[in-house]
Amino acid sequence: MNANSPLDQRLAFMDRCTRCSQCKFVPVPKSREHASACPSMDYVEYHAGSASGQLIMASGIAHGEISYTPSLLETVSACTMCGACDTACKINFAELVEPLEGLYAFRARIVEDGQSPKRHREVMDKIAATGNSQGQPRAGRATWAAGISFDSAPKVLLHVGSVLSYDTNKHASLRLIAETLQKAGLCPGYLGEDEGSCGMLAWDLGYHHMARSLAQTFMAQVRASGAKTVVTFSSSAISAYRSIYPRMGLDLSGIRFLHFTEYLLELVETSTLALGAAPTYDGKTVAFHDTCKLGRLTEPYQETDRALQKEMGGIYVSRTPQAIHFSQNGIYEAPRALLRLMGITVEELERNRQYSYCCGAQGGVKETLPAAAKMAARNRLDELNETESSTMVSACGNCAHHLGKHARDAFTVVDLIDIVATSLTATKGGK
Ligand code: SF4
Ligand code: SF4
């Protein structure tokens, strides 16, 4: 036991897990078929794959009662760090367990103990060498922006993120949006090849020191730019800014962090930009996939009371002063509002908003256990069978790419950025 270890600090919470299994299911499911909340439980198919199972293993490691084995590490690697377990657990137990905090601490302990899976280490090596998890050269990061001149003393700093920066299929949409902002007189800034990883993946893989270092570098770049608003195209980055950076003790004061859907909606609502009917989708119905990072994992971090008291005949309670959040404060409305403004009808999947089901693209699962990532994507896509729509839209480039890769039959997956980019214009005279 090490009192300074994040895992040992979570022990009191982890050991309070009642094994009730609520974390495996969406609260009040609409059907038996889509009742699951947890892709790793669906893949592993026994309790160890659930948040509760992982907490039991983590507790065993912290108490020195069990040792690492290949199957333990593979089971942990199937977890996408999607946080659905945390939302479901809080319905009954509020902050008494907070399983996701235990999962973060467990992954950090695995790294600390030198047990990080080989594929995770390879991803981290690539981030350290190139600033992105694909290991793409830094020199190629800003090719999407060739010829566009950005403001050197901007009010708004654009952050593109690794996925879209290196996805040549997204470059036209990024250019259209950047050029429309300039036509509207907004003149954003952009770090170009100096933009690096936001640190979210490093955090999810348990490399918390590296995540902190990446976050510090980014915040120093933001301060040096003079921008007071950061607009990111990455759902991982907005999750990091609002939920992870506050845990690191970074100075975030005076900076607004927005996802591009929030920013564009704000500009449309203030008549700086106009959003017309979507060329291909006007009048059509689509189903919206809430990305975990953009939704429940973008809820601002809330520090809860760690000093649990035993009261009322042995029931543990806390005295966290503010009301506990239940993941309802993620970004849910902005992408839906943009779709509606473009003449598109938005249909809800059975598991939506804070109860959305992870597509499998996050948490290092795609890299370590591609079969688990594929299974999660197929499970998610199957929900289209219960809708009128055959098109699923995501506001995350990572999810859209992963879901699209595994879509079957007549189902298609569209990235929201590609619909918005062609429907956006600067209003006359701009800002
Ligand atoms: S983590 Fe929470 S929801 Fe899951 S079994 Fe434990 S107490 Fe129940
Ligand atoms: S974070 Fe997601 S995949 Fe991991 S245990 Fe929780 S619900 Fe399951």
Centre of ligand 2 to C-alpha 294, Å, is 16
Q: Which candidate, 270, 265, 257, 271, places its Cα nearest to that of 219?
A: 257
Contacts of residue 325, Cβ cutoff 8 Å, sequence gap at least 6: 299, 300, 302
Residue 428 pLDDT > 70, yes or no?
A: no
Ligand nearest to the CA of 82: 2
CA of 111 to the centre of ligand 1 (A): 24
Kindly indicate the confidence band of residue 397, based on its pLDDT and cuts at 50, 70 and 90. very high
| pLDDT score for 322 | 73
For the stretch 406-419, pLDDT in tens is 999 889 999 999 99
Q: Whose CA is closest to atom 2 on ligand 1?
A: 89
The pLDDT score that the predictor gives to residue 162 is 96
Looking at ligand 2, which residue's alpha carbon is closest to its atom 1? 81
Q: How confident is the model at residue 311 (pLDDT cuts 50, 70, 90)?
A: confident
Confidence of residue 348 (pLDDT cuts 50, 70, 90): very high
Residue-level pLDDT at 306 = 67
Q: Reply yes or no on whether the pLDDT at 293 is more than 60.
A: yes
More confident residue, 426 or 96: 426
Please state the atom number of ligand 2 nearest to the C-alpha of residue 24: 7
Higher pLDDT, 350 or 311: 350
CA 198 to ligand 2 center in whole angstroms: 22
Residue with CA at minimum distance from ligand 1 atom 8: 20
Q: Is 162 in the pocket of ligand 1 (CB under 6 A)?
A: no
CA distance 293 to 178: 24
CA of 302 to the centre of ligand 2 (A): 19
User: How does pLDDT run across 196-239, given as a tens digit for each residue?
Assistant: 999 999 999 999 999 999 999 999 999 999 999 999 999 999 99
Q: How confident is the model at residue 44 (pLDDT cuts 50, 70, 90)?
A: very high
Q: Where are the domains of the chain?
A: 6-115+296-329+350-386, 119-272
Q: Are 249 and 349 in contact (CB under 8 A)?
A: no
Pairing, β 309-311 against β 315-317: antiparallel
Residue 430 has a pLDDT of 55
Closest CA to 39 of 89, 74, 72, 83: 83
Tell me how far the alpha carbon of residue 86 lies from the centroid of ligand 1, in angstroms. Answer: 8
Q: Is 397 left (phi over 0), alpha (psi -120 to 50) or beta?
A: alpha
Report which protein residue has its CA nearest ligand 2's atom 8: 38
> Looking at the domain 119-272, which fold is it?
Rossmann fold (3.40.50)
Nearest bound ligand to the CA of residue 54: 2
Out of 321-330, 331-340, 361-370, the most confident range is 331-340
Residues 249-273, mean pLDDT to the nearest whole number: 97
Q: Whose CA is nearest to atom 6 of ligand 2?
A: 85
Q: What would the pLDDT profile of 61-116 be if each residue is shown by its tens digit?
A: 999 999 999 999 999 999 999 999 999 999 988 888 999 999 999 999 999 999 99
Q: Is the CB of 79 under 6 A from ligand 2?
A: yes
Q: Which ligand is nearest to the CA of 83?
A: 2
> What are the angstrom distances between the C-alpha of 209 and each of 42, 115, 295, 370?
31, 16, 25, 26
**Percent of the chain residues past pLDDT 90, beyond the cut:** 88
Taking the CA of 363 as reference, the closest ligand is 2
- pTM for this predicted structure: 0.96
Cβ(83) – ligand 2 distance below 6 Å: yes
**Cα of 3 from ligand 1 centre, angstroms:** 24
User: pLDDT tens for residues 12-31?
Assistant: 889 889 999 999 999 999 99
Distance CA 322, CA 313 (A): 24
Our answer on whether the CB atom of 97 is closer than 6 Å to any ligand 1 atom is yes
Q: What is the spatial distance between Cα 262 and Cα 154, in angstroms, rounded to a whole number?
A: 19
Residue with CA at minimum distance from ligand 2 atom 4: 79
Q: Comparing C-alpha atoms, which of 284, 388, 293 is closest to residue 340? A: 284
424: Cα separation from own chain's centroid = 25
Q: Whose Cα sits closest to atom 7 in ligand 1?
A: 17
